[in-house]
Amino acid sequence: MKMITMMSSMMWIILSIMILMLNLLSKKTFSDREKCSPFECGFDPKNSARMPFSLQFFLIAMIFIIFDVELTLLLPMIMAMKISNIMSYTLITLMFILILLLGLYHEWNQGALTWVY
């Protein structure tokens, strides 16, 4: 047991020394304007790399992801129908769909689904 402890401590010391040496030796001290700029097929970029992002598109994408995850939750419910009571299955499924429809109605009321600028 003493041998294993000694070997593992030696490995940790060697690894720590190697990591320290690599961090000290790998630092690049020069910075070039060409290397710091974004690469665009070998040409200097004409526009800024930061472009404005449409918040409306992001909101629609998030709603799509929510309803996509909802679909993955609904599909296993079909398999659960075989082993559950039909009344409890119907009640759970209707409550699930009702909550989703209420969320969709809320998004629609808030104007999240309109593309008017």
At 14 the pLDDT is 95
Positive or negative: CA dihedral 71, 76, 78, 80: negative
At 44 the pLDDT is 57
Give dist(CA 63, CA 55) in Å, integer.
12
Tokens 């020394």 belong to residue:
17
Give dist(CA 84, CA 76) in Å, integer.
12
pTM for this model (two decimals): 0.47
Give the model confidence (pLDDT) of 45-102 as tens digits.
Answer: 566 666 677 777 888 888 888 888 888 888 888 888 888 888 988 898 899 889 988 9
Q: Would you say residue 2 has pLDDT above 70?
A: yes
3-state secondary structure of 40: strand
Give the model confidence (pLDDT) of 46-58 as tens digits.
Answer: 666 666 777 778 8
The answer to whether 102 touches 66, Cβ cutoff 8 Å, is no
At 48 the pLDDT is 63
Helix (H) or strand (E) holding 89: helix 86-110
